[in-house]
Amino acid sequence: MKYTTIVFDCDGTLLDTLTDLRNAVNYVLRTHDLPERSIPEVKAALGNGVAHLMRQSLPDSISEAQFNTYLDEFKAYYGEHLQDYTAPYPGMLDVLDTLRAKGYKLAIVSNKIQEGITPLNKEYFGDRLPVAIG
C-alpha cells in the first residue's frame, strides 16, 4: 500500500507557537493579578485546545463565568499576537517541499480554531499545504 497524503498537526509539529501561546496566557493572568505561567507549564497544558490550556493555567477557584471571560480575553489577545514569535521549525519548509516534489498531497488538521490556522498557514507555508482545517 502506497500512501498518497500526509496530514500534519500545526502547533508543535510544523510551527513553534509556544512563546505566543504563553504570552497570551500570561496577558490574561497578568490582567487579573493572577500568577503567570512559565514556558514548561504552558507546554505541559498544550494539546487539547485553548479551553484546556486556560483551565490548566487558571486557579481552580475561578468561576465558570470568569473562565468564559478569561477565555474570550485569551482568544482576542492571541488573535492579535499569533505571529509575534511563531515560526516554522528549522528545516520544516524543506521537508514540505521535498514531500511535495515526491508527489504527496499535504494538509494540516489542527485543534486550533480556523481563524488561527488560516492566517498561519498562509503566512508560513504559502501553497505548500493547500488544505488547512482548524
What pLDDT, on a 0 to 100 scale, did the predictor assign at position 47?
A: 84
**Average pLDDT of the segment spanning 69-89:** 95
**Residue range 68-77: mean pLDDT, rounded:** 96
Superfamily of domain 5-15+87-133: HAD superfamily/HAD-like (3.40.50.1000)
1 pLDDT above the threshold of 80: no
Asked whether the beta carbons of 54 and 68 are under 8 A apart, the reply is no
Contact 102, 121 (CB under 8 A): no
Active-site annotation, residues? 9
Question: In the predicted model, what is the mean pLDDT of the chain?
Answer: 94
Surface-to-core class of residue 99, CB atoms within 10 Å of its CB (0-12 exposed, 13-18 middle, 19+ buried): middle
**pTM recorded for the entire structure:** 0.88
Kindly state the percentage of the chain with pLDDT values over 90.
87
Summarised one tens digit per residue, pLDDT across range 16-47 is: 999 999 999 999 999 999 999 999 999 999 98
Question: For the chain, which residues make up each domain, given as ranges?
Answer: 5-15+87-133, 18-81
CATH architecture of the domain formed by 18-81:
Orthogonal Bundle (1.10)
Identify the CA nearest to 92 among candidates 7, 13, 6, 2.
Answer: 13
Q: Tell me whether strands 131-133 and 105-109 are parallel, antiparallel or unpaired.
A: parallel
Phi, psi at residue 88, to the nearest 5°? -65, 150
